[in-house]
Every structure is written in C-alpha cells, then in structure tokens.
Amino acid sequence: MEILYRDEHLVAVNKPAGLLVHRSDLDRHETRFALQLVRDSLGRHVYPAHRLDRPTSGVLLFALSPGDAEVLGRAFAEGSVAKKYLAVVRGVPPDSGVIDYPLTVVEDRSVSSPGRGKEPRPAVTEFRRLASVEVPIALGRYPSARYSLVTSTPRTGRRHQLRRHFAHLRHPIIGDTTYGESRHNRLFRDEFHCHRLLLHGAELSFRHPASGDWMTISAPLDGEFAAIVDRCDWREAVAP
C-alpha cells in the first residue's frame, strides 16, 4: 500500500478496494489485512483510527500509540474529522444537495453487539455533481445509460451511509452489490472491466493528535476507478 503520510504519531495509507482493515469473524478465510500490512511494513504496532468498508478504497489512518489512537478516535466519534469521497452513481443527480435521511443500524456481525437499537438515527450527507457522461449502450428499454461522478461529505458516521443515501436518492453507487442495481453493475463489469465498488475516500482533514495543527491527507485514484475516470474523460473534474 502507498504510504501517504507518516510521522512519529500517525501514518496514513491508500487502502485498495477489496482489502479488510482488520480481521473479521465474517471473513475468517482472509489472511491479508490493512492493519497487518502496515504493521509489518513499519515493524511496529499500529492502531486503526477509523474504518473503511472492504470494497471502499482511499485514505486510511492509523495511530502509532494507544494515546494518539484515543485522540483520533474521539475526533472521529465527535464528527470533527472532515471526510471527502468520490463516487460514480447511476443517472444524473442535482448539481448539489443534502441528503437528510435517518438510517437504521446496520449490524456488524464481526463484533458482538447485543441490544443494539433498530430505531432510525439522524444521517446527513452533502454532495456535489462533478461531471456526467452518457454511454451509448442500450440498457433495458433505454438506448443509452447515464452516469455521474460526485463528491460527497458525510456529516454523520452511520454504517454504509453513503451507499444507502445514494440508493435512497435513486442514484445508487456503481458496483454496490448490496444497495445498488445489478444491471448497471453488470454493464460496468462487461463493458469497462470494472469489478469494484466505485467509492473512494479521497480526503481526510483533522487536527494532528499531538500538535493540534489542522492537516489534510489526500489519496489519488488508481486501478479500475482511475481507468473509469479516464474512459469517461473526467480527469479535469477530479484534478486538485
């Protein structure tokens, strides 16, 4: 994994899609984890400050001590960390908007969580459409299909929030086999050879756990996501 930033308190890497952050009871057959790879690369213990879903790529932050992990974990829990994601969605959503739609708890069966509530909890996502494309491939009764590149900022931290929110907006994220649409996922597999969820944690902004300085760490696109951006002529849209 590409190391994006490192000092004596933390390290940030660009996690590839398909890699678990740490061991899970749901994936006992897996032998490779981001935590293990970073630990082995640095030759020291590391402590995850947050998590990214397995199919999501992007900035993944680790603390290098329990104290720094506690500070960073509290910042994530309090919502004082700014997150920016890139995604490819079906259709053409509005230029910008706010998805304010409460979400019920999605159980994480990899941890014991008896008694977790099922009542909807507040969930807010801001988004902006960066670019769109029309693909001249017939899909169902339509002669072509349209897709958009969006940037989004979750203001809350619900599990699968972005995937569920864009599905609620009827613009599901491409490659999402849980909340998405199979015919569009299949089009991207067959026509573009893209077999991943097109969701990428592009940027994290937070206060350094030791100095208190505000810092931003960005992760470039690579692999299949980068190929889609090139294929759709969206490079200018994702340029800094």
CA–CA gap between residue 64 and residue 201 (Å, rounded) = 21
CA–CA gap between residue 32 and residue 160 (Å, rounded) = 22
Active site residue 27: no
* Secondary structure class of 14 (helix, strand, coil): strand
Name the nearest CA neighbour of 85 among 218, 232, 178, 192.
218
Identity of residue 135: V
Identity of residue 224: E
CB atoms near residue 119 (< 10 Å): 7
Task: From residue 169, give the alpha-carbon distance in Å to each of 104, 143, 208.
Answer: 16, 23, 35
Q: Which of 7, 25, 53, 190 is catalytic?
A: 53
- φ, ψ dihedrals at 207, nearest 5°: -90, 135
DSSP 128: E
Report whether 64 contacts 9 (CB < 8 A). yes
Catalytic center residues: 53
